[in-house]
């Protein structure tokens, strides 16, 4: 059998092309159509050469038999179809040109589809046969609709689409209606955006009803456009859900009512009661949280609420609009003034401000919300709070508590056994999520747990889950838990273990060569902001260089240049913290001008420093140069932004703070980095951190320093790098 297949494999191309040649010798081709035949022959050759070998064989799949079949179809069978068209005595020149042109278009589409990998090889095997059958019906003046369902949508789209050669067939419109039904099965989420030409078709109502049930969010948008053809069609349909969504869309406050769709259908609440509540921000937010907790009960009962995600989005939006924006804006006010708006809220309502506000909440705002949330619990512990919210987003809550140094405190508020169960739940099931967010949360949180018993429990659970994934043969799960195990084996230099096994670039040290440009310069850029703290910080920063024989300072209009006079050439550029109280944002202009100057001079910063509050950090991050190798984030809670920074500078060494960022720590860190590179020593994080630990060994200074995380202890960042390299 093997020899027979091999024989056919070698012989088939010769059989196909020679047979075609013999047949064509008996057929006289009108000179006006010779070019069409040549074009078809050329496309056949190009398809055969897709694998880089001009051997008249199509090699497009991993299935040798399928490739043999495709070779036969698009060589011998295609040649035979050319002859069939030419030999058709009932067809005049125009008709022959029409079908030869269609064959040419077919091969062009096939070549394009093979190159873009948009047409499966198995479906490509039916493309020519579909064309042949449509052509034979069309030649006889018969409708083609009767056979459309015999072929898949991808094939019909190529043959019956906008450029179809069957444009004269009386059944083309009805064929396209059948095609749309095929499309609707494959892409139900796109039905509403494509259905307008088919609104009068018999199946239109049923497809619209299905869209309302399965894609209510997009359905709402179409229902709200009452004057459009589809909006009018929707209003003619007699279906309970369709009518309900349409009625809500017609309300001026429809978007505020819409997330409650599930509760309205369940009879828990009426549209009118939501409308009356929506005018009161506080009452509306509390109603959102109440319904979210009911939704969690529905989830536990295997009754997934309609618009579950929409409810979460609305809670996030209102938590930010009503509460977080205000307490952030009042960051310089006394606590009694700043957090007054939170007074009516219960613990669960404050919990949702925390878990939905991660991207915008300031560190001090988080602390204020957290303290008030726990204060509302009175004698109840954190476990009671989590039960009240049905453990909704508890992994995010635990991770944020760890990031803001509140996790030990939160765990101590509940019985030890419940704390253990919580941590077990936090660690388990990391392999189930398609993204790595939960696993990164576990990695980041571990470094913030000071309770030895809890740390040991995390290690045991990681080991248990690793063994389970190994027994199941789940490669992804094994990688996740193996990386976490290695991370937690060493608190001082975890990256060395990962470097050995997963080949990530070492993050415990950075040689000088990685920081120097081709001229040997180490270029550093510092971002400052012009509020009161920024100006004070800038003055302290400059005191590290003024009057020092090792450094030269040049003051420009929008920035300052600091260059080393002794040792390696270290060039530091810091924009001036210009007064931004007038609202014209001179900081942004100064930073933009400095960035433009650095680019014009071909100076690429490898060390970047952020000096400013946490609410300024996003502006620094948006301007990070891809050349940055060391990034020091000197603001409060900057640890929360590691993933964002790594997306821009994937190999950067990041120094960040879990809680309070302060000049008390920032300046000694910067001084030590600058001196290391100026003296040509590179940057050894373990050595630098050991020296800093001796310097900050007591009192408030130690407390502040302990919040800072050096690159070799950025466990979440290390996890991401190791996981990305696991198959390399």
Structure confidence at residue 583 (pLDDT): 66
Q: Residue 154 in contact with residue 176, Cβ under 8 Å? A: no
Which pLDDT band holds residue 571 (cuts at 50, 70, 90)?
very high
Residue 246 lies in a domain: no
Domain membership of residue 714 (yes or no) is yes
Query: pLDDT value at position 321?
Result: 95
Distance CA 672, CA 681 (A): 11
Which strands make up the sheet holding 559-564, listed edge to edge? 551-555, 559-564, 570-575, 522-527, 607-610, 630-633, 653-657, 708-709
- Tens of pLDDT, residue by residue over 294-319, are 999 999 999 999 999 999 999 999 99
pLDDT of residue 22: 41
CA dihedral 487, 489, 492, 497 (to 10 degrees): -60
d(CA 440, CA 570): 35
pLDDT of 353 reads: 97
718/270: higher pLDDT: 270
Give the residue, 26 or 553, on which the prediction is more confident: 553
pLDDT computed for residue 14 by the predictor: 36
SS3 554: strand
> Residues 6 or more apart from 428 whose CB is under 8 A from it?
461, 465
Structural domain boundaries enclosing 587: 510-724
User: What pLDDT does residue 145 have?
Assistant: 95
Torsion sign across C-alpha atoms 664, 670, 676, 682: positive
162: how many CB neighbours lie within 10 A of its CB? 6
Return the pLDDT at 8. 36
Report whether pLDDT(658) > 80: no
pLDDT computed for residue 15 by the predictor: 38
> CA separation (Å) from 728 to 104, 418, 721, 722?
43, 40, 11, 10
> Does the global pTM surpass 0.85?
no
β-pairing verdict for 559-564 and 551-555:
antiparallel
Interacting residues of 638 by C-beta distance below 8 A, sequence separation 6+: 610, 614, 617, 656, 657, 661
- Per residue in 61-119, pLDDT (tens digit) is 888 999 999 999 999 999 999 999 999 988 899 999 999 999 999 999 999 999 998 88
Q: What is the CATH number of the domain that holds 532?
A: 3.40.50
How would you classify residue 125: left for phi > 0, otherwise alpha for psi between -120 and 50, otherwise beta?
Answer: alpha
**Which tokens sit at 67?**
């490739």
Neighbouring C-alpha atoms within 13 Å toward the C-beta of 566: 8
Residue 12 has pLDDT above 80, yes or no: no
Higher pLDDT, 54 or 498: 54
Q: What is the pLDDT of residue 455?
A: 83
Quick one: tokens of 242?
Answer: 């369709």
Q: What's the whole-number mean pLDDT along residues 130-147?
A: 95
> Within a domain: residue 516?
yes
Q: Does 169 score more than 90 pLDDT?
A: yes
pLDDT at 486 over 70: yes
What is the average pLDDT across 586-614? Answer: 90
Residue ending a domain, among 135, 167, 199, is: 167
Mean pLDDT value across residues 209-217: 94
pLDDT of residue 685: 83
Answer yes or no: is pLDDT of 584 > 80.
no
In 544-633, alpha helices (H): 586-600, 617-622
The answer to whether the CB of 608 falls within 8 A of the CB of 631 is yes
**Residues 8, 67: contact at Cβ < 8 Å?**
no
Residue 29 DSSP class: P
CA-nearest of 626, 638, 625, 627 to 669 is 638
pLDDT mean across residues, the chain: 87
Q: What is the pLDDT of residue 453?
A: 82
Give 455's contacts (C-beta < 8 A, 6+ positions apart).
Answer: 446, 449, 488
Two tokens, residue 512: 């000088």
Residues in CB range of 16: below 8 A, 6 or more apart: 56, 71, 72, 75, 76, 79
Note the pLDDT of residue 495: 54
| Intra-chain end-to-end CA distance of the chain, in Å | 39
Asked if 44 and 107 count as a contact pair (C-beta separation under 8 A), the reply is yes
660 contacts 704 by C-beta, under 8 angstroms: yes
- Per-residue pLDDT at 301: 93
The answer to whether residue 18 scores a pLDDT higher than 50 is: no
The model's confidence at residue 448, banded by pLDDT at 50, 70 and 90, is low
Q: What is the pLDDT of residue 19?
A: 37
**163 near 190, Cβ under 8 Å?**
no
CA distance 479 to 462: 12
Residue 208: inside a domain: no
In a domain, 668, yes or no: yes
Across the range 549-576, mean pLDDT stands at 94
In a domain, 103, yes or no: yes
Which segment of 337-341, 600-604, 646-650, 661-665 scores lowest on mean pLDDT?
A: 661-665
- Contact assessment for residue 264 and residue 244, using Cβ atoms and an 8 Å cutoff: yes
Per-residue pLDDT for 659 more than 90?
no
**Residue 21, pLDDT score:** 41
The percent helix, strand, coil of the chain (3-state, each to 5) is: 65, 5, 30
pLDDT at 490: 57
Residue spans of beta strands (DSSP E) within 389-506: none
Lowest mean pLDDT among 327-331, 618-622, 639-643, 686-690: 639-643
Query: Which segment of 363-372, 441-450, 697-706, 712-721 scores lowest on mean pLDDT?
Result: 697-706
Cβ pair 392, 296 in contact under 8 A: yes
Boundary (domain end) residue, out of 167, 194, 223: 167
Q: Is residue 574 included in any domain, yes or no?
A: yes
CA distance linking residue 1 with residue 140, whole number of Å: 43
Q: Of the segments 33-42, 509-518, 644-653, which one has the largest average pLDDT value?
A: 33-42
Residue at 686 is within a domain: yes
Q: Which residue has the tokens 């012009």?
A: 530
Higher pLDDT: 210 or 490? It is: 210
User: Total structural domains in the chain?
Assistant: 2
Residue of higher predicted confidence among 264 and 689: 264
Please count the other Cβ atoms lying within 10 Å of the Cβ belonging to residue 2. Answer: 6
In percent, how much of the chain has pLDDT > 90? 59
- For position 445, what pLDDT does the model report? 82
Of 139, 167, 195, the one marking the end of a domain is 167
pLDDT attached to residue 20: 39
Residue with tokens 């909006």: 231
Rounded CA-CA distance 274/257 in Å is 6
Q: Structure tokens of 203? A: 């199946």
pLDDT band at residue 5, thresholds of 50, 70 and 90? very low
- pLDDT(372) > 90: yes
What pLDDT is attached to residue 262?
95
Mean pLDDT of 167-179: 94
């Amino acid at each position: 059998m093997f020899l027979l297949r091999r024989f056919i494999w070698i012989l088939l191309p010769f059989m196909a092309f020679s047979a075609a040649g013999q047949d064509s010798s008996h057929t006289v081709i009108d000179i006006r159509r010779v070019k069409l035949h040549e074009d078809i022959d050329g496309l056949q050759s190009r398809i055969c050469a897709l694998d880089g070998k001009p051997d008249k064989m199509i090699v497009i799949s991993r299935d040798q038999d399928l490739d043999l079949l495709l070779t036969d179809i698009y060589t011998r069978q295609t040649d035979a179809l050319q002859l069939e068209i030419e030999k058709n005595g009932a067809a005049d020149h125009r008709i022959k040109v029409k079908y030869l042109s269609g064959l040419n278009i077919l091969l062009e589409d096939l070549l394009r589809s093979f190159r873009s990998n948009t047409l499966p090889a198995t479906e490509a095997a039916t493309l020519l046969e579909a064309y042949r059958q449509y052509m034979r019906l069309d030649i006889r003046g018969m409708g083609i609709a009767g056979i459309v369902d015999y072929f898949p949508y991808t094939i019909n789209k190529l043959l019956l689409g906008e450029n179809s050669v069957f444009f004269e067939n009386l059944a083309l419109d009805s064929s396209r209606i059948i095609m749309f039904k095929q499309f609707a099965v494959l892409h139900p989420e796109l039905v509403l955006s494509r259905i307008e030409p088919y609104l009068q078709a018999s199946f239109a109502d049923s497809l619209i009803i299905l869209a309302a049930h399965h894609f209510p969010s997009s359905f709402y948008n179409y229902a709200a456009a009452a004057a459009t053809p589809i909006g009018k069609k929707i209003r003619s349909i007699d279906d309970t859900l369709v009518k309900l969504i349409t009625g809500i869309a017609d309300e001026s406050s429809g978007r505020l009512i819409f997330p409650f769709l599930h509760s309205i259908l369940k009879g828990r609440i009426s549209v009118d009661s939501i409308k009356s509540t929506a005018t009161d921000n506080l009452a509306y937010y509390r109603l959102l949280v109440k319904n979210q907790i009911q939704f969690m009960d529905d989830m536990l009962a295997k009754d997934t609420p309609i618009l579950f995600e929409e409810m979460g989005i609305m809670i996030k939006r209102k938590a930010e609009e009503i509460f977080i924006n205000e307490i952030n804006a009042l960051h310089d006010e006394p606590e009694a003034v700043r957090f007054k708006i939170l007074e009516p809220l219960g613990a669960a309502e404050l919990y949702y401000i925390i878990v939905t506000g991660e991207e915008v909440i300031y560190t001090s705002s988080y602390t204020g919300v957290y303290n008030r949330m726990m204060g509302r619990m009175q004698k109840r512990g954190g476990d009671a709070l989590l039960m009240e919210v049905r453990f909704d987003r508890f992994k995010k809550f635990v991770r944020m508590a760890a990031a803001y140094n509140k996790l030990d405190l939160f765990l101590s508020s509940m019985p030890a056994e419940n704390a253990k169960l919580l941590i077990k739940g936090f660690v388990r099931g990391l392999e189930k999520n398609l993204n790595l967010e939960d696993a990164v949360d576990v990695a980041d949180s571990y470094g913030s747990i000071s309770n030895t018993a809890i740390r040991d429990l995390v290690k045991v659970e990681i080991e248990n889950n690793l063994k389970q994934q190994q027994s199941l043969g789940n490669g992804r799960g094994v990688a996740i838990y193996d990386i976490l195990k290695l991370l937690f084996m060493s608190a001082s230099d975890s990256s060395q273990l990962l470097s050995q096994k997963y080949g990530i670039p070492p993050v415990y040290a950075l040689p000088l060569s990685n920081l120097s440009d081709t001229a040997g310069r180490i270029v550093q850029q510092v971002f400052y902001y012009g509020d009161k703290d920024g100006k004070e910080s800038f003055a302290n920063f400059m005191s590290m260089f003024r009057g020092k024989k090792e450094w030269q300072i040049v003051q420009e209009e929008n920035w300052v240049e600091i260059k080393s006079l002794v040792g390696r050439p270290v060039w530091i550029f810091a924009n001036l913290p210009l007064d931004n109280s007038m609202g014209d944002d001179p900081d942004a202009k100064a930073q933009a001008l400095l960035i433009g100057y650095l680019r014009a001079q071909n100076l690429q910063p490898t060390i970047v420093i952020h000096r400013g509050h946490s609410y300024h950090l996003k502006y620094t991050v948006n301007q990070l140069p891809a050349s940055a190798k060391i990034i020091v984030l000197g603001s409060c809670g900057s640890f929360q932004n590691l993933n964002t920074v790594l997306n821009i500078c994937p190999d950067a060494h990041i120094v960040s703070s879990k809680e309070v960022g302060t000049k008390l720590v920032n300046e000694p860190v910067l001084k030590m980095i600058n001196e290391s590179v100026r003296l040509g020593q590179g940057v050894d994080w373990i050595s630098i951190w050991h020296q800093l630990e001796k310097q900050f060994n007591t009192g408030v200074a130690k407390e502040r320093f302990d919040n800072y995380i050096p690159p070799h202890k950025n466990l979440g960042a290390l996890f991401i790098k190791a996981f990305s390299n696991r198959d390399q």
